[in-house]
Amino acid sequence: MDTRFDHRPLPLVLTGFMGTGKTSVGQVVAEKLGREFVDMDVVIEAKEGMPISKMFETRGEAYFRALEAELCARLAGCDNAVIATGGGALVNPDNRAAFVDACVICLDATAEALLARLESMCDRPMLAGNARIRIPELLSARRAAYAQIARHIDTTNKSIAQIADEVIALFKVASDEPR
């Protein structure tokens, strides 16, 4: 795909449930567009000097969510970045509002696909317990919030390269739209 189009300054934000490929896809997209890649979870972990799982354990979820909200407000002005949010970040309407002028794309996948991708991982505090139960539970709790996002890509059975190309195609359309 030709990624040399003259994309105007506009933050490109990838969001969606854990395991939808926000980070892997975001890195490829940033590379192709010649943009900086920002992974919100990595920024928060670096600032706090601990992994998110430890933060949930020692400070609690509310502490993490406050840092996440602060960071969304700060990143909304990063016109030349590709930003991967944590899966819960844009469930908060204030954080969606912070990115109102950005091109926000929500990556989706079926519960089965997510389970296959996440089952062997134990670093997601929101999935503590039984991932087989937690994934559909949390997906259904977040469905209405994710539905508020205008652009979606289904990632089920697609490669990272394929999803990255779809993201760039959507971004191209968004960056041609008048502000």
CA 127, 132, 135, 138: dihedral to nearest 10 degrees?
Answer: -80
Can residue 126 be called a binding residue for ligand S3P (CB under 6 A)?
A: yes
- Among 95, 98, 76, residue whose Cα is nearest residue 87: 95
Residue 151 and residue 167 in contact, taking contact as beta carbons nearer than 8 Å: no
124 lies in the binding site for ligand S3P (CB under 6 A): yes
- Nearer to ligand S3P (CB atom), residue 117 or residue 172: 117
Residue 87 contacts ligand S3P per CB under 6 A: yes
Is the Cβ of residue 3 or residue 24 nearer to ligand S3P in the bound state? 24
CB of 149 to ligand S3P, least distance (A): 14
Q: What does 131-165 look like in DSSP terms, one character per residue?
A: HHHHHHHHHHHHHHHHHTSSEEEE-TT--HHHHHH
Asked if 166 touches ligand S3P (CB under 6 A), the answer is: no
Report the residue from 125, 139, 151, 172 that binds ligand S3P according to the rule CB under 6 A. Answer: 125
- Which residues 33-62 are close enough to bind ligand S3P by CB under 6 A? 41, 52
**CA distance linking residue 45 with residue 55, whole number of Å:** 8
| Burial of residue 59, with CB atoms counted within 10 A of its CB: 0-12 exposed, 13-18 middle, 19 or more buried | middle
**Is the CB of 11 or the CB of 16 nearer to ligand S3P?**
16
**107 near 151, Cβ under 8 Å?**
no
Query: Taking contact as CB under 6 A, which single stretch among the options 30-38, 82-90, 106-114, 166-174 is the one that binds ligand S3P?
Result: 82-90
Q: Which of 11, 28, 88, 153 binds ligand S3P (CB under 6 A)?
A: 88
CB closest to ligand S3P, residue no:
86
Cα 150 to Cα 7, 66, 146, distances in angstroms: 19, 25, 9
Asked if 18 interacts with ligand S3P (CB under 6 A), we say: yes
Q: Which positions lie near ligand S3P, rule CB under 6 A? A: 18, 22, 41, 52, 86-88, 124-126
